[in-house]
Amino acid sequence: MRPLTEPETKVVFDKLANYATDLKTLITPLEDGDRYVFRLNHSRVYYVRLSIANMATSITRDALLSLGTCLGKLTKTGKFRLHITALPILAEHARHKVWVKENGAQPFLYGSNVVKAHVGRWSEDCPEHSGCVVYSMADVPLGFGVTARSTAEARRLDPTGIVVFRQADCGEYLRDEDTLFAG
């Protein structure tokens, strides 16, 4: 497990900036003097406390399977792909939010995009092609995606028009359980 290089950090922060309001809160020191850091192991990026990451240095890279919260994977082409395991962190720092009605939660969890008929409410002034977190009406984060239209354009859509393109949802824990944490 090693720290991210400068280009890797830039790619990860660019992706997180699409979803989060303030990235500084992710890395600011905690009250107890500890802080969170980003570490790379087997092309997966982890978000973990520095004290725990320092303790993990005694474990060999091959023996270490996971540590902290897996944010995503760096691809061979140098891009960063967020995983559903990053949802708690994205939901805590979300800039744009979409709440789906009960009749829209199940199709979203089965891997479908969010259509206008299923939207209960959404954040104001949400631009097109920006990251957003999808919530149930009970404020439970279900997943995240990219807006297909701005808020103003989405209000004029017909009920079957796509509002959010799904990137990841909680149903992936069941659909992809064999490959989610595999190398």
Print the domain residue range for 82: 2-89
60 and 101, same domain (yes or no): no
**What total number of domains does the chain contain?**
2
Strands 2-3 and 36-41: antiparallel
- Residue where one domain finishes, among candidates 74, 89, 104: 89
Instruction: Identify residue 104 by its one-letter amino acid code.
Output: G
Under DSSP, the state recorded for 94 is B
Which CATH number do you get for residue 120?
A: 2.30.130.10
Strands 131-136 and 97-100: parallel
- Residue where one domain finishes, among candidates 89, 120, 141: 89
Using alpha carbons, list the distances in angstroms from residue 143 to 15, 81, 99: 16, 14, 11
pTM here?
0.87
Under DSSP, the state recorded for 107 is H
- Residue where one domain finishes, among candidates 89, 104, 121: 89
* Strands, sheet with 97-100, edge to edge from the N-terminal-most edge strand: 114-115, 162-169, 141-147, 131-136, 97-100, 119-122
The pLDDT assigned to 181 comes to: 64
Residues 6+ apart with CB under 8 A from 77: none
Q: Of 56, 51, 130, whose CA–CA distance to 98 is shortest?
A: 130
The pLDDT assigned to 183 comes to: 55
- Tens of pLDDT along the chain (183 residues) come to 889 999 999 999 999 999 988 888 888 888 888 899 999 988 899 999 999 998 888 888 888 888 899 999 999 998 999 999 999 999 999 999 999 999 999 999 999 999 999 999 988 888 999 999 999 999 999 999 999 999 889 889 999 999 999 999 998 877 777 776 665
78 and 24, same domain (yes or no): yes
